Structure 1
């Protein structure tokens, strides 16, 4: 066994009468353990929240979304659509018309995002991670039906069981010169609500899903579309299909995957995770001051032992290594305990969901967690760096002991 490590371990495991230095060393170890455990747990919760949000959005969004680089719509024809469908990996191509319109139901009205979709939209399990009420159907061409978000249904006081009340949807159009008829200033269509979905608050409060032909008639889009949504075949890389679509369509179109469609939200979560990591690391650094003080006091208490070691041939470097390793033992013992406790807490939460979100209508009942090896690695790396910084000064002080004064 390495001699410096042996001496450091003897100091740490000393069974002599407990004194303030020993108590401070144990407190240091507990502080490092608690800080490490908190880092692992909090980072795992952020990972779980990110995955949850991705899953919720993925249940509503397509794998890829094609939009015009300029403007809000573009013309399509059968040849254009067929060229995309023929690409390897393209499973389903959904045409989309999306714009804001005024929705009225009874005496209530609200501005909503009307999303017209082709018939294959509901064949893609778009709402599998959400909650559904009523019938998930867009009706027939002569009897169109709409599916709306739960928040939107609250604003309109929607009653799906009322077969006689229809939604009125209004969209402004360019007024005709010389016309004094107010009805010439907007399009108006009637549609029956068939179902209510709940996926994510942004969608729940804004979206009204309607048939593509209904949206084209209401919004005067004709053969123009605001977006195309692509579902990728299982076994194909989304990024590979994305590159193929970009090469086919050229610079006039943008192609975004699910993460890019919500880049700002995901970036916010990752920035929050980074700042939480830095904050808890700072707290861990504060806790490591106990290591600094305990090693400094240990160096003072062991001056006679140090003088004996030096007189027996021990070098200053050897003395420094004893105290550096003493600090490493304190910190690594605490870090190991913290990593194990953090892992166990996350595993129990993931398996049994002990800590509830406290929201009865939430898609998930308990806080989601997801452990990643990178979190364990960076947490361990932080402990190593902090330990070396906290131990270096006391180790230098110990190495400067005057031998003649303490023998």
Structure 2
């Protein structure tokens, strides 16, 4: 063991004459540990929140939406085949989107209704996995049966219906009567209930069969609102969307999930950065405690420093002693912070003891996702700040003049 490290450890662990300084050292360790643990937990929660929100949005919506600028799309089969032939495209599905009024004897609720193909839905979205009652296959009507509809859990609760119940849909397409134009009312049988965990979707979204949507809106069989496209890499949506836009002979409107939710994810990114900056201040406070500890130690150990220099220690050796002491404090605090932060994150992830109101947030519990890059940056930032805090006290210690200190001893 190098003598600089030996002396640094003796100064840190000595309790007989320097208990007060040792107590300040412990406070410095606690300050660094608290800051590191807070950074790990908060950034993990922010990552989990962002990824959870992204997964839920992409579970309900496709990665890319392709529609026609001029209105509903027709003769889309050839375009769909060309899109699916592109590299990076996993699957696609036609859809129809409309807004209707749903009613039962228990209540009335405005809703967004999407017509989908049950056979292709599992390849493009996670609706089948989100079902808590019923099956997507039940959207297809049997002989003489009513067409099926799948409702969000909040919407089904609001309307007081469950699988097998009949629901009335007031569609926007109007028909001419003796009294003028009147909206049409279509009857559907509830085929299932889904739960995504996002209040906005669960309380206002419903799915019906593509053919039923076309029939309800008076569309021809080859008329749709657009195509939903699922790709292999969600972060390559911009690139794939650009290639899709170049495919068509006519103008297409291509929207990626990033375009549709840009403001939301930009706000989350900004919030994560702001929280990281704020919490780094806690580590900075801990590093200031290290400065205080070392300055007090230098003042208390001037005689020891003078003796060491009289015995041949160079100023560089003295500087390394105090830099090692501050670095050890930072390393111990960082290690303890990592242990506490990772333990708390694991507990939050496993037991989910912090519940969130689903009508306010997009999820029901606090999600946590730890990323290696964030953990590496947290550890590096803590060690750099703690090392920087040792520079000034170490320089002051190296400037001690042995003759002046030992003159009256």
User: What is the TM-score when the length of structure 1 is the normalising length?
Assistant: 0.83
Q: Deviations over 1:183-204 (max 9, x none)?
A: x153443322221111122211
Looking at structure 2, the residues matched to 341 and 270 of structure 1 have their Cα atoms a distance apart, in angstroms, of 25
Q: Secondary structure at the match of 1:140?
A: coil
Range with bigger deviation, 82-91 or 319-328:
82-91
Identify if the C-alpha distance between structure 1 residues 121 and 363 changes in structure 2 by more than 3 Å, giving closer, same or farther: farther
The corresponding residue for 1:271 is 270
Q: Secondary structure at the match of 2:14?
A: coil
Shift of 1:25: 0.5
Tell me, which stretches of 5 or more residues in structure 1 are unaligned? none
The corresponding residue for 1:157 is 160
Looking at structure 2, the residues matched to 278 and 299 of structure 1 have their Cα atoms a distance apart, in angstroms, of 31
The corresponding residue for 1:336 is 335
Shift of 1:356: 2.1
The corresponding residue for 1:171 is 172
The corresponding residue for 1:10 is 10
In the alignment of these two chains, the number of paired residues is 396
Is residue 56–residue 130 contact of structure 1 (8 Å, CA) maintained in 2? no
Shift of 1:2: 4.4
Equivalent residue runs for 1:327-366 within 5 Å? 327-347=326-346, 349-350=348-349, 353-358=350-355
Shift of 1:109: 1.9
Shift of 1:205: 1.6
Q: Secondary structure at the match of 1:39?
A: helix
Is residue 90–residue 232 contact of structure 1 (8 Å, CA) maintained in 2? yes
Identify if the C-alpha distance between structure 1 residues 78 and 343 changes in structure 2 by more than 3 Å, giving closer, same or farther: closer
Is residue 94–residue 228 contact of structure 1 (8 Å, CA) maintained in 2? yes
Shift of 1:272: 2.9
Q: Deviations over 1:88-115 (max 9, x none)?
A: 5655421111122222223622221111
The corresponding residue for 2:148 is 145
Looking at structure 1, the residues matched to 20 and 214 of structure 2 have their Cα atoms a distance apart, in angstroms, of 79
Shift of 1:146: 0.9
Is residue 237–residue 257 contact of structure 2 (8 Å, CA) maintained in 1? no
The corresponding residue for 1:202 is 200
The corresponding residue for 2:247 is 248
2:302 pairs with 1:303: yes
Is residue 63–residue 257 contact of structure 1 (8 Å, CA) maintained in 2? yes
Is residue 116–residue 209 contact of structure 1 (8 Å, CA) maintained in 2? yes
The corresponding residue for 2:54 is 54
Looking at structure 2, the residues matched to 214 and 33 of structure 1 have their Cα atoms a distance apart, in angstroms, of 60
Q: Secondary structure at the match of 2:150?
A: strand
Is residue 150–residue 196 contact of structure 1 (8 Å, CA) maintained in 2? yes
Looking at structure 1, the residues matched to 320 and 85 of structure 2 have their Cα atoms a distance apart, in angstroms, of 67
Shift of 1:317: 4.2
Is residue 31–residue 286 contact of structure 2 (8 Å, CA) maintained in 1? yes
The alignment's C-alpha RMSD in Å is 3.5
Looking at structure 1, the residues matched to 294 and 129 of structure 2 have their Cα atoms a distance apart, in angstroms, of 54
Looking at structure 2, the residues matched to 113 and 363 of structure 1 have their Cα atoms a distance apart, in angstroms, of 18
Looking at structure 1, the residues matched to 28 and 232 of structure 2 have their Cα atoms a distance apart, in angstroms, of 54
Q: Secondary structure at the match of 2:127?
A: coil
Looking at structure 1, the residues matched to 286 and 246 of structure 2 have their Cα atoms a distance apart, in angstroms, of 54
Is residue 356–residue 365 contact of structure 1 (8 Å, CA) maintained in 2? no
Q: Secondary structure at the match of 2:187?
A: strand
Looking at structure 2, the residues matched to 264 and 304 of structure 1 have their Cα atoms a distance apart, in angstroms, of 62
Looking at structure 2, the residues matched to 306 and 152 of structure 1 have their Cα atoms a distance apart, in angstroms, of 76
User: What is the TM-score when the length of structure 2 is the normalising length?
Assistant: 0.82
Equivalent residue runs for 1:75-154 within 5 Å? 75-87=74-86, 90-106=89-105, 108-124=107-123, 126-136=126-136, 137-140=138-141, 143-154=146-157
Identify if the C-alpha distance between structure 1 residues 121 and 388 changes in structure 2 by more than 3 Å, giving closer, same or farther: same
Looking at structure 2, the residues matched to 9 and 254 of structure 1 have their Cα atoms a distance apart, in angstroms, of 67
Q: Deviations over 1:307-341 (max 9, x none)?
A: 23333444444433322221111111111122133
Is residue 160–residue 194 contact of structure 1 (8 Å, CA) maintained in 2? yes
Identify if the C-alpha distance between structure 1 residues 232 and 374 changes in structure 2 by more than 3 Å, giving closer, same or farther: closer
Looking at structure 1, the residues matched to 294 and 76 of structure 2 have their Cα atoms a distance apart, in angstroms, of 77
Looking at structure 2, the residues matched to 367 and 78 of structure 1 have their Cα atoms a distance apart, in angstroms, of 43
Is residue 32–residue 330 contact of structure 2 (8 Å, CA) maintained in 1? yes
Range with bigger deviation, 297-306 or 130-139:
130-139
Looking at structure 2, the residues matched to 194 and 95 of structure 1 have their Cα atoms a distance apart, in angstroms, of 21
